[in-house]
Chain A
Amino acid sequence: MTMAQTAIPTINFKQAALDLLPPGANFGACLTCGLCSSGCPASGLENMDPRKFIRMAMLGMDEELSTTPWVWCCTLCKRCEYVCPMKIDVSKLVFLARGNWPSDRKPAGIVRSCKLTQLGASTSAMGMPPGDFVMMVDDILEEVHTTQPRFAQLRAPMDRHGAHFFINQNSREPMSEPEEMVPLWKILDRVGADWTYSSKGWAAENFCMFTGDEQAWREVIQRRVDAVNELGCEVWLNTECGHSYYSMWEGIERFGLDAHFRMESLITYYARWIREGKLPVDARWNTRGIKFTVQDPCMIVRKSHGDSIAEDMRFVVRTLVGEDNFVDMQPNRSANYCCGGGGGFLQAGMTDHRRAYGKRKFDQIAATGAAYVLTPCHNCHTQIDDLGHHYGGRYGVVHFWTLMCLSLGILGENERRYLGPDLLALIE
């Protein structure tokens, strides 16, 4: 090491737990039963696990806990709290520990993504300015108009005051695979949704939350809340992205922000539109009985909506691929395991740790025998894709919007990048 590193201050974790956790669920209530650790994919990484975290706090080993890199391996997925008989939330203290690391020692990738998010009015972790986003949407829309005559009238409204839905957008699509935006536009068109994009605060991702920097998290959410309030939309509809929902939902509550809108997830509306007959998807296309499983994103299932949205998701998937072609992963719904793409792990530069963490997810997927994993979360998507390549899996990962348009027979030719030969063969 050539340069002296900034020291990591020492936190009094036992006291912090008393301050942050409710009575009866602080560290002193731990039964040391180990349900947390035995169901934590980060157990063993850096020789740590959630129970050890609690016990080390109780034994006063604050320096060790303040400096353990394990806090960047924990994805803050809250499965430990979910299974804990005393409902002890270790992730709150892990979050505190993350925030306590000096910026120059935090994983550079997460810090960089947060900085970019803070820079512009877009709040895009990939640094895409509002003008570029508007232009990209226009370009792609124009391309659809010329190449897909059926959709010559397709619209992607921008900054439309009074629209019912404010729909956010993960930066990954406009930045690196813009044609992936189109299937969702088609779905919204089909159901006749009254919606708009915004040129400000449109981006979904929020790595500031993962840095443990509450101030930065708050700033990002404030800008997004302002953008929605400004357009006077009734519903902020979160795209197929996990942490974007949680960071907004939790952030508004945590920071007491004044939001004049409801927060909803696209999954809820997919299910509703199908039930209402507005989205006539079915499984007749799946003539070869291709099997699908779903990855429940921790952020929208266990950490916010709970099992209700997991049920909606299953309703959508069953309708879409056929009852017999859906194989649930075990465990699932709120008891689901994080894939290892959460908490900023993908940006943390800890590839070996991340893949070791994800091995359980890989095994769970393999056990379903499914050919595809459906997941409405970009981090899940990327991580599960990477796990497949790394561990030699033979599955694909698809967005819901892709499969819906496939079912409706409206999936454009350049909107099929996540389909394998088996699915492509069904379209031909």
Chain B
Amino acid sequence: MNTPVPETAATNLETEVLIIGGGVTGAGVMRDLALRGIHCVLIDKVDLCAGASGGNHGLLHSGARYVTTDLDAAIECRQESERLKRLAPQCIEDTGGLFVAVEGDDPGFAGRFAQLCGTAGIACDELTVAEARRLEPQLSDKLVKAYRVPDATVDPFHLALANVDHARSLNGSIYRSHTELLGFEVADGEIRAAQCRDSRSHKPLRIRARQFVNAGGAWAMKIARLAGCADVDLRYAKGTLLVHHERITRRVVNRLRPPGDGDILVPGGTVSLLGTSSTRVQDLEQVGPTVEEIDLIMREGSAMIPALAGARYTRAFSRVRPLLQGGGPASDRAASRGFALIDHRAQGLANFCTITGGKLTTFRLMAQKTADLVAARLGKREPGTTASVALPDAEAGRWTEPGAAPRHWVKLNDPSDLILCECEMVPQSAVDSIVASAPDGAAPAMSLEAISLRSRIGKGPCQGSFCGIRVASYLYDQGHFRDRAGLAALRDFFDERFKGQRLVTWGAQAAQMELAEALQCGLLGLDSLEAE
């Protein structure tokens, strides 16, 4: 967006702890520290969950997926998922999960699987094929084996928003989106300040802090190098997922075989996410799905659920998972999904640490370990409380759940509260609420992407082609956009949505795309915006 950063943004910020990276881990560290009374600033060069946190299937692992490859990770998942179901139920749907084998799958795997689940303490009940198909009628008639496990789904956006919101309300900790880290000022074995800039206005910003946390996820190695640290060694695995615009199962459905491509279907509220693939990549910035990956995922997924072969997909996307470089086996699937907390003391820095690796399910534990280190370095000895303090409901996070906005709207039954997003039925009042809880320094000029991230806007079958225009118009009406700012914002928003649709353009979605093109190019002329 071309709108300048508002006057409230200072060129200098001071805090006790600067956290770099607005994934769930960074958000979790922010809340954990705020609960200990420590003031933080959290920055992200894009916005919350812009990396792997927002680009996964939203599975809250029971741990069963990992029993055959990493028993410790499996146990950690079991413990953390049980805890999160208790402490953050608003972000979780306790769907339950199934592991299913179809004809041709290794029958020996099932026995090992059940036994190891027992060892890890993960409830795992064998079902007859008939029972499984009664629970999930879409399952293949070639099913040969089925187990029920306590998998669930979690909304990472809701989770991150609620963590940030809680931290902000606890002690005025600050979250700034679109704040890019350029470098560190290091003196006497300590980082003194971080040099940043606003990625939209390019206005420089210097953040002074006593402690610095690198929660950059896949970018953690690059961030560590900016501080001169060479001890973060990551490799990158690109994962690709498909979004089917209908929910076709009640439960998570996993393939009962060693972890592999296209082995999971996760319901996400009213949609379904089918994944994943795993491919080594070197570049972090230019990742996207390929036709081969999509074909592979659909083929593998439809072995479990045949309807997936003819389903309408609205989106495909890829994100990079940071995997910790260990020695050992070459397969990325086998690489540890555990996390690493690196204190960088050996690199000569006393107030910098890096937290990376891990997974969505264990984000709280990762945040707690990080906060323990940071608090200790600040001389604060009281333990963290995120293992027992429930995550409060946050206004900021209430619109991310599919179906939440229409339920609110129907209940309110106010015809003057116009629906802006018809696919997901998001009304004006939801947009008002989202703009009101914008990141620090971002209101009132929130981008359409930022509003989309905090709601279901742009995520239905139209992929933003109607709601984008309507929300932009509404923001013009409200005085948030002036002149051509809204048009540029629209173009950026559509570009972003288009990336995800490019490779799933067939059938009904192709008709949808033609309509989108007519609106975006024919009606609004966004394709010639710059030329004018």
* A interface residues, Cβ below 8 angstroms from B: 14, 24, 28-34, 44, 47, 51-52, 55-56, 58-61, 64, 85-86
The residue among A51, A56, A58 with the most chain B CB atoms within 10 A of its own CB is A58
Q: If A47-B415, A55-B425, A60-B270 touch, does A31 touch B410 (CB 8 Å cutoff)?
A: no
A375 to B92, CA, bound (A): 58
Contact A34 B422 (CB under 8 A): yes
Please give the distance in Å from B466's CB to the nearest CB on chain A: 6
A367 to B462, CA, bound (A): 35
Return chain A residues, CB-CB under 8 Å to B415. Answer: 44, 47
Q: If A32-B460, A32-B462 touch, does A24 touch B425 (CB 8 Å cutoff)?
A: no
Chain B residues 400-422 with CB under 8 Å of chain A are 402-403, 406-407, 410, 413, 415, 419, 422
Q: If A31-B511, A32-B422, A34-B422 touch, does A64 touch B410 (CB 8 Å cutoff)?
A: yes
Return chain B residues, CB-CB under 8 Å to A59. Answer: 270, 402-403, 406, 424-425
Return chain B residues, CB-CB under 8 Å to A47. Answer: 410, 413, 415
A28 to B509, CA, bound (A): 10
Judge if B423 is at the interface, Cβ distance under 8 Å: yes
Return chain A residues, CB-CB under 8 Å to B406. Answer: 55-56, 59, 61
Q: If A59-B406, A60-B403 touch, does A24 touch B508 (CB 8 Å cutoff)?
A: yes
Q: Which residue on chain B has the smallest CB distance to residue A14?
A: B246
Chain B 382-416 interface 0/1 with A at a Cβ cutoff of 8 Å (1 = within): 00000000000000000000110011001001010
Please give the distance in Å from B246's CB to the nearest CB on chain A: 6
A33 to B406, CA, bound (A): 18
Can you give 30 A-B contacts (C-beta < 8 A)?
Answer: A28-B246, A30-B461, A31-B461, A31-B462, A31-B508, A31-B512, A32-B423, A32-B460, A33-B462, A33-B466, A34-B422, A34-B466, A47-B410, A51-B422, A52-B425, A55-B406, A55-B425, A55-B460, A56-B406, A56-B410, A56-B425, A58-B245, A59-B402, A59-B424, A60-B270, A61-B406, A61-B407, A64-B410, A85-B515, A86-B508
Contact B461 A32 (CB under 8 A): yes
Contact B511 A55 (CB under 8 A): no
A101 to B112, CA, bound (A): 52
Q: Which residue on chain A has the smallest CB distance to residue B462?
A: A32
Residue of A31, A58, A64 touching B270 (CB-CB under 8 A): A58
Return chain B residues, CB-CB under 8 Å to A34. Answer: 422, 466
Residue of A51, A52, A56, A85 touching B511 (CB-CB under 8 A): A85
Number of interface residues of B (CB under 8 A): 25
Contact B422 A29 (CB under 8 A): no
Return chain A residues, CB-CB under 8 Å to B511. Answer: 31, 85-86
Residue of A14, A24, A29, A32 touching B466 (CB-CB under 8 A): A32
Judge if B200 is at the interface, Cβ distance under 8 Å: no
Judge if B148 is at the interface, Cβ distance under 8 Å: no
Judge if B39 is at the interface, Cβ distance under 8 Å: no
A32 to B425, CA, bound (A): 11
Chain B residues 459-494 with CB under 8 Å of chain A are 460-462, 466
A14 to B423, CA, bound (A): 15
Q: If A29-B312, A33-B466, A47-B415 touch, does A60 touch B422 (CB 8 Å cutoff)?
A: no
Please give the distance in Å from B471's CB to the nearest CB on chain A: 14
A47 to B413, CA, bound (A): 7
Please give the distance in Å from B505's CB to the nearest CB on chain A: 13
A47 to B247, CA, bound (A): 26
Interface SS majority for chain A: loop
A44 to B407, CA, bound (A): 17
Q: Which are the 9 A-B pairs with shortest beta-carbon distances?
A: A29-B508, A32-B462, A32-B423, A32-B422, A31-B512, A59-B270, A59-B403, A47-B415, A64-B410
Residue of A24, A31, A60 touching B515 (CB-CB under 8 A): A31
Chain B 228-252 interface 0/1 with A at a Cβ cutoff of 8 Å (1 = within): 0000000000000000011100000
Return chain B residues, CB-CB under 8 Å to A58. Answer: 245-246, 270
The residue among A14, A32, A61 with the most chain B CB atoms within 10 A of its own CB is A32
Please give the distance in Å from B363's CB to the nearest CB on chain A: 28
Chain B residues 234-274 with CB under 8 Å of chain A are 245-247, 270
Return chain A residues, CB-CB under 8 Å to B419. Answer: 52
Please give the distance in Å from A132's CB to the nearest CB on chain B: 47
A58 to B312, CA, bound (A): 13
Return chain B residues, CB-CB under 8 Å to A85. Answer: 511, 515
Contact B515 A28 (CB under 8 A): no
Return chain B residues, CB-CB under 8 Å to A55. Answer: 406, 422-425, 460
Please give the distance in Å from A67's CB to the nearest CB on chain B: 11
Please give the distance in Å from B408's CB to the nearest CB on chain A: 12
Return chain A residues, CB-CB under 8 Å to B462. Answer: 31-33
Return chain A residues, CB-CB under 8 Å to B413. Answer: 47
Q: Which residue on chain B has the smallest CB distance to residue A29?
A: B508
Please give the distance in Å from B1's CB to the nearest CB on chain A: 26
Return chain B residues, CB-CB under 8 Å to A56. Answer: 406, 410, 425
Please give the distance in Å from B402's CB to the nearest CB on chain A: 7
Q: Which residue on chain A has the smallest CB distance to residue B406?
A: A59
Chain B 420-433 interface 0/1 with A at a Cβ cutoff of 8 Å (1 = within): 00111100000000
Return chain A residues, CB-CB under 8 Å to B247. Answer: 60
Return chain A residues, CB-CB under 8 Å to B512. Answer: 31
A31 to B464, CA, bound (A): 11
Please give the distance in Å from B137's CB to the nearest CB on chain A: 10
A30 to B406, CA, bound (A): 17
Q: Which residue on chain B has the smallest CB distance to residue A45?
A: B415
Please give the distance in Å from B6's CB to the nearest CB on chain A: 34
Q: Which residue on chain B has the smallest CB distance to residue A34?
A: B422
Q: Which residue on chain A has the smallest CB distance to residue B461?
A: A32
Return chain B residues, CB-CB under 8 Å to A24. Answer: 508
Return chain A residues, CB-CB under 8 Å to B515. Answer: 31, 33, 85
Chain B residues 496-525 with CB under 8 Å of chain A are 508, 511-512, 515
A155 to B47, CA, bound (A): 84
Contact A61 B246 (CB under 8 A): no
Please give the distance in Å from B138's CB to the nearest CB on chain A: 11
Chain B 437-479 interface 0/1 with A at a Cβ cutoff of 8 Å (1 = within): 0000000000000000000000011100010000000000000
A34 to B467, CA, bound (A): 12
A28 to B512, CA, bound (A): 12
Return chain A residues, CB-CB under 8 Å to B407. Answer: 61
Q: Which residue on chain A has the smallest CB distance to residue B405?
A: A59
Return chain A residues, CB-CB under 8 Å to B403. Answer: 59-61
Return chain B residues, CB-CB under 8 Å to A30. Answer: 461
Chain B residues 137-181 with CB under 8 Å of chain A are none
Please give the distance in Å from B463's CB to the nearest CB on chain A: 10
Please give the distance in Å from A85's CB to the nearest CB on chain B: 7
Return chain B residues, CB-CB under 8 Å to A33. Answer: 462, 466, 515
Return chain B residues, CB-CB under 8 Å to A64. Answer: 410
Please give the distance in Å from B144's CB to the nearest CB on chain A: 27
Q: Which residue on chain A has the smallest CB distance to residue B312?
A: A28
